[in-house]
Amino acid sequence: MFELASVEYEDKRVSEEEWADMKAKPGFGQLPVLEIDGKEIPQSRAIYRYVARKHGFYPSDDWGHALVEVVLETVRDFDPEVSRFFSQTDSTKREEIRKEFIDKGSNKYLDNIEKLLKNTNGGTGWFVGEKISLADILVFYLIYDVIPSLLGKEPGTFDLSNHELLHAFMKRFKSEPKISSWLGKRPKTPF
Ligand SMILES: N[C@@H](CCC(=O)N[C@@H](CS)C(=O)NCC(=O)O)C(=O)O
């Protein structure tokens, strides 16, 4: 959102050592944290909603706002899958979950997301209204980064051939100049 809105920011990733230090100090003991004017807030969802409100990634009307929330909550339906996978330490069981996810899990969730996309302009534009909102950003992040990481693949490699509208959406979003430039320059870290 900072990139899209041309807001100056520092994207601070931490090394293992810095992380240990941060956790030893008083504070939240979790990342991400957003620092603005010397004040800090934790919790990714609180952070992205705050930034979205501040920089115009929610529609100004209540109905549009609600529609964005619908998309965010539909994206969130993936969370149990993601937690189930990442909390599994046994590699054989992890592999089973991965396989199950590829075979059945992902389609149910992606079907629902695609239905929401179709509701606006037949799915040929953005999820809500006529401009990019937090809904588009979160769906892109889910499909571009989260799902491939679950499957042990590189970002942007998830096969969407069964979801034509979503496939076209991903291309459209990725070819936004500020997004493609960000993808080219962002630091390569696991999180
Ligand atoms: N609900 C929090 C979860 C944050 C979270 O669990 N972050 C991980 C890193 S991705 C963390 O800091 N874990 C604490 C730890 O490793 O001790 C959020 O969405 O921000």
Range of the domain at 106: 62-185
15 and 77, same domain (yes or no): no
Structure confidence by residue, pLDDT tens digits, 18-59: 888 888 877 778 899 999 999 999 999 999 999 999 999 999
Q: What is the residue with the minimal CA distance to atom 14 of ligand 1?
A: 30
120 and 101, same domain (yes or no): yes
Would 191 be classed as within a structural domain?
no
Q: Which amino acid is at 23?
A: K
49 and 77, same domain (yes or no): no
The more confident residue out of 63 and 26 is 63
149 and 81, same domain (yes or no): yes
164 and 82, same domain (yes or no): yes
Structure tokens at 31: 């990342």
122 has a pLDDT exceeding 70 = yes
Domain of residue 148, CATH code: 1.20.1050.10
38 and 77, same domain (yes or no): no
Q: Is 44 in the pocket of ligand 1 (CB under 6 A)?
A: yes
104 and 35, same domain (yes or no): no
The rounded Å distance from CA 32 to ligand 1 centre is 7
74 and 166, same domain (yes or no): yes
Domain termination residue (choose one: 57, 77, 96): 57
Q: How many domains does the chain have?
A: 2
Domain termination residue (choose one: 9, 37, 57): 57
43 and 97, same domain (yes or no): no
Ligand 1 pocket test, candidate residues 21, 28, 31, 83, most atoms within 8 A of CB: 31
Q: What is the residue with the minimal CA distance to atom 3 of ligand 1?
A: 43
Please report which confidence band the pLDDT of residue 178 belongs to, taking 50, 70 and 90 as the band edges.
very high
